[in-house]
Each structure stands twice: as structure tokens, then as C-alpha cells.
Structure 1
Amino acid sequence: MCIENHTTLILLVRGDPITHVLLGYKKRGFGAGKYTGIGGKIEPGETVRAAAVREMREETGVVMSVQDLVDAGHLTFYFPTRPKWSLTTRIFIGRRWQGEPTETGEIRPVWFEIDHLPFDAMWDDATYWYPYVLAHKRVRAIFTFSTDCKTVATSEIEMW
């Protein structure tokens, strides 16, 4: 299956070791009503890192440098009953930024303690990979969603 949607996701974190992560409550569009990291589509001619910092700025007002992104992994999502939803996502951790996250028309940013993530209000795949990334492990994973497009039917995860 050829995937046409390529996206980015940044997890802003606080603490060393990580104690808090910024998630965005999606107010509209794909994933509305769920909490997720901050990110979006890569525009034609744009690098993955440039797309990530652009999306962060557009969705939260936070300014970052591409040099401050730490590669945390690559995810592939298949939605067999809705192939146009299938996508790839590059994940980054962000520890340095300028400004405070502010609500926009698309996202309401909320800081969560990593031991109290709202998994029941996130995409089903989040329980599989967030704990690894927040423990400083890089992940490569493939998720296939079931016919309801809500629950993970199969998953393959590796750390490197």
C-alpha cells in the first residue's frame, strides 16, 4: 500500500528525567476530540524537521529551532477500511523552545505528568509507544487499525 500522508509529531518535555509532556487537545480536523503530540502534514518541498517546527509554531505559538529536535522514532499507521487515513509520522522530542504554548483554533495545549497521561482520550496506539519514547528510547513501529478505525488490530514495535 502506498502511503501519501507524511506527518510530524513533537513532544515537548520538561524534566530530566522527563516528568511532563505537552499534549494538544485536537479541537477540529483529523483526530478531533483526542489528545496527541503537536504536529501535522509535511508540505511539498519542506524538510521533516522544518515541518515539525512550523506545525509547533502554528498550533501553539511556540518557536523552536530544527537543531533542537531530537529524533525519537518513526511510526506507520494503516487504516485498511479508510486507506486515505493511512500515514507515516516522524516523532521528535523537544526540550528547548521559546514562548509558552497557547491555545489556537486547532489545539488546546495541556501539560501532563508522564505517569498520568490521558490514554483513554488518545489514539489507541499511544499506549504502545509513548512510554518508550518518554523513557528516551527511539521507536520504529507499524500499527494496523481494525475496521472501527479506533482500535489497534496489529502492531510491530522495535527500539533502536
Structure 2
Amino acid sequence: MTLTPMCLCFLTRPAPDGGREVLLGRKKTGFGTGKIVGLGGHVEPNETAVQAAAREIAEESGLIVAVGDLREAASITFRFPLKPVWDMQVDVFVGDRFTGDASESEEIAPRWYPTDELPAQGMWDDNQYWLPQVLEGQRLRAEFVFADDCETVAKTQIVPAPKTQPE
């Protein structure tokens, strides 16, 4: 079974209290309905992961972000032994330059959250293991294997990602 190529993008901005906020959204349809997730989705044929991330941000929130303003943050493999059709390879990007105001789409109800108060109870279980580090600027490679309930992480492997050379 091949891994489905996916992307996630986490936009951040200064918070009124001097901290940082991250854009997340409550999933309204499809995989993960009801969960609070990062914005993103499938990487289409003839599209790079970073192009997909910028496109998904626009489709799901109305925000416009330039591909060049997104930084690679993580490469994560998700495995669901009981539902291998859900297995995916996700490229994660972070950015803090964008234009527009986030608005609700058919798929996502976006909302800004303090980066130090992530809504972990409403998110996929894996987020607690890697998202705070990514939002602090770390680069990671990770693999998560979910338990038979397809909700709980059964096994994790997280390592620092090698630095990439600037293009």
C-alpha cells in the first residue's frame, strides 16, 4: 500500500498579548470531521507539497500565502494498521507572512489559537508529540503508528530533520 501524499500548513501571527497565535480549524467534512486540525490536504498531480500547502490555505481559509514564504518544518508518516488506506506521508510547512482575513469554508471553520495553549483535546492524538516543537521552529522527521482504535498513537519515532541547503 502506497502512502498518500499530503501537506499541512501552520500560519502564525503575533497575538494581542505579545505571544504567538496559530491558525487551526475545525474539520467540517471528510477525514477527521469534528477534529481541530492544521489546514492542508492532498498534494495534486504535477504539484509540489509547498504549492499544495499554499493552495489549500487559500481554499480552506481565504488567506493568500506565497510559496516562498513557507518554510519546511516536518516530514511525517502516519500509519493506520487497521485502515491502511488512511496511511499518508505529510509534508508540514510553517509561515508567518500572508494576506487577507481567515474565513470559514465548506471544509474548515478556521480560528486563531495561542501557540502555548493548543486545543489538544480536540486534535488528533499525534499533535501533542510534534506540533509544539514545529511551532517553536524545530525541523522534524517523524512516524506515528495508530492503535486499533485509529485514534490513539501506539508508536512514535521523532528525530531532528537535517538542515536543507538554501536554493
State if a TM-score over 0.5 links the two structures: yes
Cα drift, residue 15 of structure 1: 3.0
Name the counterpart of 1:130: 131
Kindly tell me the number of residue pairs found equivalent between the two proteins: 159
Corresponding residue of 2:103: 102
Question: Aligned runs of 1:4-153 on 2, under 5 Å?
Answer: 5-15=4-14, 19-153=20-154
Q: Is the deviation greater in 44-53 or in 123-132?
A: 44-53
TM-score, structure 1 normalization: 0.95
Letter paired with 1:2: T
**Structure 2 Cα separation of the partners of residues 103 and 114 of structure 1:** 21
Name the CA shift for 1:18/1:129 in 2 (closer, same or farther; >3 Å): farther
Find the aligned partners of 1:109 and 1:81 in 2 and give their Cα distance: 30
Cα offset, 1:18, TM superposition? 6.0
* AA in 1 matched with 2:11: L
1:62-109 per-position Cα deviation (integer Å, ceiling 9, x unaligned): 111100001101000000000000001111011101101100110000
Let me know the Cα RMSD of the aligned residues. Answer: 1.4
Contiguous gaps of at least 5 residues in structure 2: 162-167
Q: Which amino acid aligns with 1:6?
A: P
Provide the TM-score with structure 2 as the length reference.
0.91
Q: How much identity, in percent, do the aligned residues show? A: 45
Helix, strand or coil: the match of 2:23? strand
Unmatched tracts of structure 1, length 5 or more = none
Q: Secondary structure at the match of 1:137?
A: coil
CA contact (8 A) 1:72 1:139 kept: yes
Q: State the distance in 1 between where 2:114 and 2:58 align.
A: 23
What is the CA distance between 1:2 and its match in structure 2?
A: 2.8
Contact 1:18 1:134 in 2 (8 A): no
Counterpart contact for 1:18–1:135, Cα < 8 Å: no
Distance 1:114 1:131 in 2: 7
